[in-house]
Amino acid sequence: MDLNVRLHHEWIYDRPPRQLPADRSTARGRAIADWEEQIRFKPLEYGAFFDAAGNKHLERQGEPKRIGFTQAELKQVADMTFCHNHPDALSFSEADVDLARKANLSEIRVVTRYGCYVMVRPQAGWPSANEMSTAFAKAMDIADSTTVRLLCHEGLNKRYAQIEYQHQVWRAFSTLLSIAYRREPLT
């Protein structure tokens, strides 16, 4: 078993492929990692879009569980990376992934106090809303059984069950739709 993220002397599990640290080898990677460090512990959601050169666009403060952009703004951010925080420490919401699809983002990232979750647009483009909805329903069933197994047989602390469940939903969803998804540890 691969134990990668240590949380207050407890472990959250991750299966291969191993967690990867944030990429700081490019100006874009450094800009994103620096922004994520600034917003990681904020009590409200903060978000910004980054272009391929690492320039920040449309920085916004939201509410504790949401951040919004207009349709006109979303038309300006195609092919960019959207980075935002989740104060509740959970992975993506359905609205996050739908935003990635609607805006045709190249990548979407959510940073929490425990790490960062990353989803990358497939080469063929984001799946349709219907395909995503069907995969999400299947992924929830897969995540239920995976999380129960981790709790009952592999030592996952109940305190982190919801965090791990959300991660498992998006792992299964991404596998079903051939989307690259990963969880990055704190750097």
Q: 3-state SS of the chain?
A: CCEEEEECCEEEECCCCCCCCCCCCCHHHHHHHHHHHHHCCCCCCEEEEECCCCCEEEEEECECCECCCCHHHHHCCCCCEEEEECCCCCCCCHHHHHHHHHHCCCEEEEEECCEEEEEECCCCCCCCHHHHHHHHHHHHHHHHHHHHHHHHHCCCCHHHHHHHHHHHHHHHHHHHHCCEEEEEECC
Per-residue pLDDT band at 185 (split at 50, 70, 90): confident
Per-residue pLDDT band at 129 (split at 50, 70, 90): very high
pLDDT tens per residue across span 59-84: 999 999 899 999 999 999 999 999 99
Q: Check whether 122 has a pLDDT greater than 80.
A: yes
Q: What is the pLDDT of residue 53?
A: 95
pLDDT tens per residue across span 133-182: 999 999 999 999 999 999 898 888 888 889 999 999 999 999 999 999 99
Whether the model pTM is above 0.95 = no
Which structural domain, as residue segments, surrounds residue 92?
3-185
Q: Check whether 1 has a pLDDT greater than 90.
A: no
Quote the number of domains for the chain.
Answer: 1
Average pLDDT over residues 104-127: 95
Q: What is the pLDDT of residue 23?
A: 72
